[in-house]
Amino acid sequence: MVRVTVPIPERAYDVVVGHGLLEDAARYLPEFPKADRAFAIVDRGLVDRVFGTLAAGLAEAGLDVVLLPVPSGEEAKTLQVSETLLHQLATQEAHRNDVVVALGGGSTGDLAGFVASTYMRGVPFVQVPTTLLAQVDASVGGKTAVNLPEGKNLVGTFYQPRAVLADVEALATLDERDFRSGLAEVAKYALTLDLALLELLESDPGPVLTRDPAALESLVARCVSAKARTVASDELDAGPRLFLNYGHTLGHALERVEAFAGRTHGEAIAIGMVFAARLAERRGMAAPGLVGRTTRLLSSLGLEVDGPLPAVDEVTAAFRMDKKFRGGVRFVLLRAVGEPVVVDDVADGELRTTMLEMGATA
């Protein structure tokens, strides 16, 4: 078991990474002395498989558990679903000291965090991520959001959880595509913030790919540690935390164009990182070789690196709905691995040429 602290002043919390945490949740949760109930916002697919174990742990901690199932994946991240949950909290007379618990992947956590942050101006919130993507990234750092038809994560808040329980045993049941989707976010950390992790993945990704429990515990803890350091220095995404968006500018645009269907989040981010590497080489910012190293890493993790991309005009329109669009498209690019920079002056011509190189239609 590894405990990583996210050291935000006055709101620090622990991310606990290990095996069998759900069975012993009472041991790892912080105390909520004024809480009577835990409102568990749970991915519907986990109600019969995982929820009972967590519910027993919450009951052992002295909390009455109320189950609030939600759709799986991005279907949960809507204003309509969040409104339904808020009504359920109100009609069941949830009070300000009761706890909202998210059980599921990144979408469930984003939704539950948004609901917790807005009900009565904020109630305590615990993340229990069950996917690799959520454990290494989405559950940590306090970004909560739901989508609009116009774009991804356009309605949200910054709201830190009180704790995160990342039980790597849950990863054994993920289907292969979801697991490899999470590896895209792992690759992001390796390319931007953790060169030792990059070397480890490049030398022998086998233990991770076969889901060796010890390898997964170490992997999740490393990624969480990198994110914890970054969030503590820039909670509100105004400086170094922007580096965590590597690959996400194009990735979110692809999700927007594909109406949150088709590619998974991780698959879209993987394509986004290849695009960013091509852009960095095209500008002369990065030396030749970055694209090759990026594609070799992603391919070794079972991720697609070649596209194809949708029509150029569709992607360009989607870029403009990005939350960080300020009269131009903002990208995180690499001078070299481990050297990310934020670039705001990428010209439309550069974007178009790079998209066409990757198979976009004119």
**Cβ count within 10 A of residue 7:** 13
Q: Which two tokens stand for residue 107?
A: 């979408």
Topology of domain 181-357 in CATH is Dehydroquinate synthase-like, alpha domain (1.20.1090)
Domain residue limits, the chain: 2-173, 181-357
Torsion of CA 253, 149, 118, 266, to 10 degrees: -30
Residues 6+ apart with CB under 8 A from 159: 113, 114, 116, 117, 122, 125, 142, 144
Residue pair 204/218 in contact (Cβ under 8 Å)? The answer is no
pLDDT given for residue 336 in this prediction? 98
2-173, which class in CATH?
alpha beta
pLDDT given for residue 293 in this prediction? 98
pLDDT along the chain (362 residues), means of 10: 96 96 93 95 96 95 97 95 98 97 98 98 98 98 93 93 97 95 98 97 97 97 97 93 96 80 88 97 96 98 90 88 69 98 90 92 84
